[in-house]
């Protein structure tokens, strides 16, 4: 994949601890062979890298950066600021009361300076802020927003730019094909640019299903970012083949947790050939769009390496068997992989 698409955009994967540390040797070998950009699925999030105040755990992140350097791979740090997977202490003072704006900003600054500073010149891009907007384009009322105010995004980007002036800095969100969300995000992005705050790209997460997204709406969002001169990246791409239990809540809200129901787990015994073909067709349509806009799209990163380790097996309903990626549970290329290779023969 990485070689076939080298003239168009980078091809990446989100890797887990097994891939990083080599305990999943087959997966690690597949990563080195197929991808030229990597993102840590969880190992660089706040709860993993600073679980307690001032106590940093860089073991997995260090291993990922070293592996990437050995293999000439572009590394994306994910993520510096998010409303999820951030320890409760971050938002509290020493008495367990809500932190003040000043205290929370100082913690954010220290975290970014420490993490980005450690990998200065070695991690090439950072998802600075993740998922700051609701589906209707309004600000997500996270604790970051409630305590600091809407300028928390500006401050995060300023801290990151100071910590590594050469690293690329991104905003990342899901359902960016929706007009309302696009409008909210792009208003924020343009405000940053008008203030001279450095931002280099907008990440479209790309957690999709067989029925979507509408490609016309998705293309409109690509063009909206292109008009600003920023890069577009598809940062967390996967296509679930399973029915979603609540169509109104499709996206990537990790707080969703539905009870397991067999009607929403139809392929536990294996993926039917016709569904595999449908998956391949879905990926082909997406990549045909990506190729049309390859001057704007710098990276396409799949959220996982092979089906067995995909988060889609657990979200939004734990215990399901999904098949959202290009490689099966035996690390073998699927019909979808071959379809994408054929697009750029």
The set of catalytic residues is 131, 236
CA 147 – CA 232 distance, rounded (Å)? 30
Question: Could you tell me how far CA 118 lies from the centroid of its own chain?
Answer: 21
How is 257-298 classified by DSSP, letter by letter? Answer: -PPP-GGG-TTTT---HHHHHHHHHHHHHHHHHHHHTTTTEE
What secondary structure does DSSP assign to 93-138, as a single string? -TTSSBPPHHHHHHHHHHHHHHHHHHTTTT--EEEEEE--B-TTSS
Q: Is the dihedral of CA 327, 256, 86, 56 positive or negative?
A: negative
Cα separation, 275 vs 267, in Å, equals: 10
Q: Is 115 helix (H, G, I), strand (E, B) or coil?
A: helix
């Amino acid at each position: 994949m990485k070689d076939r698409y080298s003239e168009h955009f980078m091809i990446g994967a989100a890797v887990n601890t097994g891939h990083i540390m080599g305990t999943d040797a087959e997966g690690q070998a597949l990563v080195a062979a197929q991808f030229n950009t990597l993102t840590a699925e969880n190992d660089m999030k706040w709860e993993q890298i600073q679980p307690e105040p001032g106590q940093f755990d860089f073991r997995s992140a260090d291993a990922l950066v070293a592996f990437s350097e050995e293999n000439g791979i572009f590394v994306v740090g994910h993520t510096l600021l998010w409303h999820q997977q951030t320890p409760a202490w971050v938002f509290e003072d020493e008495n367990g009361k809500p932190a003040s704006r000043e205290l929370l900003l100082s913690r954010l600054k220290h975290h970014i300076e420490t993490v980005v500073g450690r990998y200065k010149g070695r991690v090439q891009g950072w998802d600075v802020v993740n998922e700051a907007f609701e589906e209707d384009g309004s600000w997500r009322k996270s604790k970051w927003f409630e305590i600091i105010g809407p300028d928390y995004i500006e401050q995060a980007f300023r801290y990151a730019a100071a910590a590594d002036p050469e690293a690329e800095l991104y905003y990342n969100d899901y359902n960016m094909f929706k007009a309302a969300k696009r409008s909210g995000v792009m208003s924020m992005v343009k405000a940053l640019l008008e203030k001279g705050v450095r931002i280099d790209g907008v990440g479209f997460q790309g957690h999709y299903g067989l029925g979507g997204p509408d490609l016309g709406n998705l293309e409109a969002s690509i063009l909206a970012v292109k008009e600003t001169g920023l890069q577009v990246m598809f940062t967390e791409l996967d296509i679930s083949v399973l029915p979603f239990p609540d169509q109104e809540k499709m996206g990537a809200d990790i707080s969703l947790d539905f009870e397991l129901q067999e009607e929403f787990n139809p392929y536990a015994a294996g993926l039917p050939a016709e569904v595999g073909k449908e998956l391949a067709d879905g990926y082909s349509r997406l990549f045909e769009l990506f190729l049309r806009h390859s001057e704007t799209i710098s990276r396409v990163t799949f959220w996982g390496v092979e089906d067995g380790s995909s988060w889609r097996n657990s979200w939004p309903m734990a215990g399901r068997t999904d098949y959202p990626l290009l490689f099966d549970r035996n690390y073998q290329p699927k019909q979808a992989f071959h379809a994408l290779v054929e697009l750029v023969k």
